[in-house]
Structure 1
Amino acid sequence: MSFVAFSVLCVVAGVFATPGGVNEIDPSDSNVQAAADFAVGEISAQSKTVNPYVRTSISGTQQVVAGLKYELTIKVAESSTCSKTDELSLDLCTVDMTTIHYFRAVVLWQSWMSPDYTLLEFNEVPPSDEEAKFQSFLASYARTYTNDVKQYEMKLMTFQDNLKTIQQLQANEQGTAQYGINEFSDISAQEFLSTHAMANGFPESDVELPMAPKLSTDIPTSVDWREKNVVTPVKNQGSCGSCWAFSVTGNIEGQWAIHKGKLISLSEQELVDCDKVDHGCEGGLPWNAFKQIMALGGLETESDYPYKAADGMCHFEKSKVVVNINGSLNISSDEDQMAAWLASNGPITIGINAAAMQHYHGGIADPWTIFCRPSQIDHGVLIVGYGQDGSKPFWIIKNSWGASWGEKGYYRIIRGKGKCGLNRMPTSATVA
């Protein structure tokens, strides 16, 4: 082949490089895609799978030789809508992203030959460790986006980012907490806080509550109101920023059980729909909710006004009210006083910065302040007890992300450090 012909070859192929030089491919280059699709067709034809392979992504290098040599890593998925004799492309074939395979393929392109592509070699290679974990995650949590390549790749990137966050949290954890993959691992931190907490934080309010009286701190070394039948099972707020409502109902459930001797699961949806001062799935404040409950005339049961995880029209029926309150209190931000109040009076509604909670598995959390700044409170939860493990005093917090999260739905966090702002807004309803 003449030098002129060779130069034309390089230009046609979109390669401007010294003969023999190795360059990273451009995955969007039509010539690269053609080489990869040829390889996939050949590999698919030789595979023992019933369903053909369809390319979903490519990486690798190209080298100017007597033609162009591509050394590619090709990610493919199986398609049940195309046959091995069809044109195999994402435009024509639906793929199942739970059937990922990786192949290393060497393809030679020579324009003067017929056919102009030759598959020199190929072999299947394992996926990256992160993608293997993602595939395991998909199987564990039955995600529904596995037929959407674009969404799959976006979720994979989010998952990879979350793995880095998990590593950072674990490496810098000062307590005994363990962090890892859970049902929220394919959700970005921003999206998670907007749907499972309150991305914009607690709204401002000018409501002032009376202060709880100061109490003696000569109290038991541990208290757990779950053992005294005043705490309902863990609930799940879903993708709705109604954490404030769950914190409030949990507190009132406890107060009613302690003062009236009957534990009743109360309706969060009533607050989401009928509390017109707060903002439903967009957030709210416990003390606003206490005032609104008094104005409404009380709370219905969970079964009479079931939770929908969405804003709705108010259909409150006063005749179905089972619980009412007569006021509410601010509790001291001093954590010794918080413990004394909890020991004497029951669970406390609080706000907390939830940024370090998304990937929590268990143990006593004591994250660095940079991971959950106390001034940025964005999640309402319920303290139901306290205790000490060795040298680490802790709070027991009931969350509203379901019983599969954390310690069967609960969070233990270091006590006495004002960690993540947990002592900034402790309050409680009062029951006559």
Structure 2
Amino acid sequence: MVKLVFVISVLVVVTIGAGGAEDVQAAWEKYLTEFPIGIQTKAEYGKRKSNFERIHAIIEEHNADENATYTMAHNQFSVMDSEERKKYLLKNFASTRSLYEELGLETVEDTDDSTMRQLPPTIDYRKDKCMQPVKDQGGCGSCSAFAATAVVEFANCQKNGNAVSLSEQQIVDCDFPDRECGGGSYHEYWKSLIKAGGQATSAAYPYTSGDTKKRGPACLNKPKGAKLAARNPIVALREGDEVGVMKLLTKKKLVAVCIGVTDKFMNYRTGVYTTPCKGDEGLHAVTAVGYGTYKGIKYWAIRNSWSAKYGNGGYVLFQRGINLCGVERDLATVNVA
């Protein structure tokens, strides 16, 4: 993420009305304290405050709804306009449908209710010793690289006992470098890691907020922290295979998924997210790290890559079982060496 330094050299005198305007102003001033941003001019100040006021109205209306299943809150996205928000989403993504057909995998033999009842009611790896701290992709559509990496990191630690952070930057630089921050598909990235002989550690190949480098030896000649298995390295599930994902999670396998994103999702705070997509939202790759039920609503525990300041420590509970915003459409994981 391109970090902005809080340099307010020009303060705008705002005439505050009664009631709501005062509340908005107080919220704005609190926001500037909690989320320092760089404001160099009056025009910039006006733009950021206008963006904030739009999101603030959405948050206030949503949180006042007694039937809401989740709460919203201000975060780093509150002062961004729609074009800036799109930078965090995918421009390129290929469905796993063709991958499933290519691999011919059938991970679930029986998906009836009796199968689901045999599974644990709750699985949650958010605090597992093999789960790396939530990372920050910054203003770059590299979310697929982060989802792909989270799956490999967790699988590698579970199998080999190595809780090591792996390099998203290797993927951004070396796989489809022409896309730069346009992103790609996690299954494409896993294939590139196989060709590269593994994935480098973050220490050897640190993330630079998506600032890409030219493809070259540096992409390959870095110490590898993990390798994918020689046999059946990629596991694809058929679309809508809720039970298949649950089964993989019980086997300590994280699952990469892709979702449609709304403004409300970008300002999610806690609870079970249940807002449908309209069909024209941008796509975002994330990782399923658990499942459960909260107040009668089935959910996936989802790991995001928008820093720990997003949602509940970087995680979101996302409604399960109805393919909300495509969450049960593009499902894949890996086996490691």
Contact 1:277–1:292 (Cα < 8 Å) also in 2 = no
Residue in 1 that maps onto 2:214: 313
Gaps of 5+ in 2: 1-7, 110-114
1:267 equivalent in alignment to 2:174: no
Task: Say if 1:245 and 1:286, in contact at 8 Å, map to a contact too.
Answer: yes
Whether contact under 8 Å (1:267, 1:306) holds in the other structure is: yes
**2:132 aligned with 1:226:** no
Alignment partner of 1:337 is 2:244: yes
Mapped pair 1:394 → 2:299: yes
Mapped contact 1:336–1:416 kept (Cα < 8 A):
no
Picking from 130, 136, 140, the partner of 2:24 is 130
CA 1:126–1:162 in structure 2 vs 1: closer, same or farther (change >3 Å)? closer
Q: What secondary structure, in the 3-state scheme, does the structure 2 residue paired with 1:150 have?
A: helix
Tell me the CA shift for residue 298 of structure 1: 0.8
Other structure's SS at 1:413 match? strand
Match of 1:322 in 2: 225
Larger radius of gyration: 1
The within-5 A match list for 1:235-246 is 235-246=135-146
Q: Is the 8 A contact 1:252 1:429 kept in 2?
A: yes
Is 2:256 aligned against 1:363? Answer: no
Out of 133, 144, 150, the position equivalent to 2:38 is: 144
Q: Specify whether residues 174 and 256 from structure 1 end up closer, same or farther in structure 2 by C-alpha distance, changes over 3 A only.
A: farther
Identify if the C-alpha distance between structure 1 residues 126 and 281 changes in structure 2 by more than 3 Å, giving closer, same or farther.
closer
Contact 2:205 2:222 in 1 (8 A): no
- CA distance 1:390–1:139, change in 2 (3 Å): closer
| Rounded Cα–Cα distance in structure 2 between residues aligned with 1:257 and 1:212 | 25
The aligned amino acid for 1:134 is W
Q: CA deviation at 1:227?
A: 4.1
Q: What is residue 256 of structure 2 aligned with on the other side?
A: 349
User: How many Å separate the matches in 2 of 1:125 and 1:377?
Assistant: 36
What CA distance in whole angstroms lies between the structure 2 residues aligned with 1:381 and 1:214?
22
Q: Partners in 2 of 1:428 and 1:102 — Cα distance? A: 54
User: 1:406 Cα deviation (Å)?
Assistant: 0.6
Q: How far apart, CA to CA, are the structure 1 residues paired with 2:204 and 2:224?
A: 9
2:13 is aligned to 100
Given residue 362 of structure 1, which amino acid in structure 2 is its aligned partner?
T
Answer whether contact 1:224 1:386 (CA < 8 A) is retained: yes
Specify the SS of the correspondent of 1:208: helix
Q: Which moved more, 1:314-323 or 1:419-428?
A: 314-323
Query: Residue 219 and residue 277 in structure 1: after superposition, are their counterparts in 2 closer, same or farther (change >3 A)?
Result: farther
User: Matches of residues 26-425 of structure 1 in structure 2 within 5 Å?
Assistant: 96-97=10-11, 100-102=13-15, 128-145=22-39, 147-167=40-60, 169-170=62-63, 176-192=69-85, 194-198=86-90, 200=91, 202-203=93-94, 208-209=99-100, 210=103, 211-214=105-108, 216-217=115-116, 218-276=118-176, 279-309=179-209, 310-314=211-215, 315-318=218-221, 320-326=223-229, 327-332=233-238, 333-355=240-262, 356-367=264-275, 369=276, 372-373=277-278, 378-425=283-330
Return the alpha-carbon distance in structure 1 between the equivalents of residues 156 and 319 of structure 2.
28
Q: State how many pairs are aligned.
A: 313
Q: What is the one-letter code of the residue matched to 1:353?
A: G
Say if 1:103 and 1:125, in contact at 8 Å, map to a contact too: no
Residue 250 of structure 2 aligns to a residue whose secondary structure is: helix
Alpha-carbon deviations, 1:52-71, whole Å to 9, x = none? xxxxxxxxxxxxxxxxxxxx
For 1:423 and 1:174, locate their aligned partners in 2 and report how far apart those are by CA, in whole Å.
25
Displacement, 1:237?
0.5
What is the CA–CA distance in structure 1 between the aligned matches of 2:155 and 2:279, rounded to whole Å? Answer: 27
Residue aligning to 2:5: none
Change in 2 beyond 3 A, CA 1:413/1:127: closer
Are 2:301 and 2:318, in contact at CA under 8 Å, matched by a contact in 1?
yes
Quote the offset at 1:376 in angstroms.
5.0
RMSD over aligned Cα atoms: 2.8
- Any idea what SS the aligned residue of 2:133 has? coil
Q: Quick one: distance in 1 between partners of 2:78 and 2:289?
A: 27
* Superposition deviation, residue 399 in structure 1: 0.5
How far did residue 319 of structure 1 move?
Answer: 5.2
> In 2, distance between residues paired with 1:291 and 1:129?
51
- CA shift, 1:295, in A, is 1.0
Residue 353 of structure 1, CA deviation:
1.1
The SS at the match of 2:265 is coil
CA distance in 2, matches of 1:258, 1:101: 55
- The alpha carbon displacement at 1:311 in A equals 2.0
Tell me: CA distance 1:245–1:125, structure 2 relative to 1, closer, same or farther (3 Å): closer
With structure 1 as the length reference, what TM-score do the two structures score? Answer: 0.66
Task: Read off the aligned partner of 1:352 and give its amino acid letter.
Answer: I
Runs of 5+ consecutive residues of structure 1 not aligned to the other structure: 1-93, 105-123
Pick 1 or 2: higher relative contact order, CA cutoff 8 A, min separation 6: 2
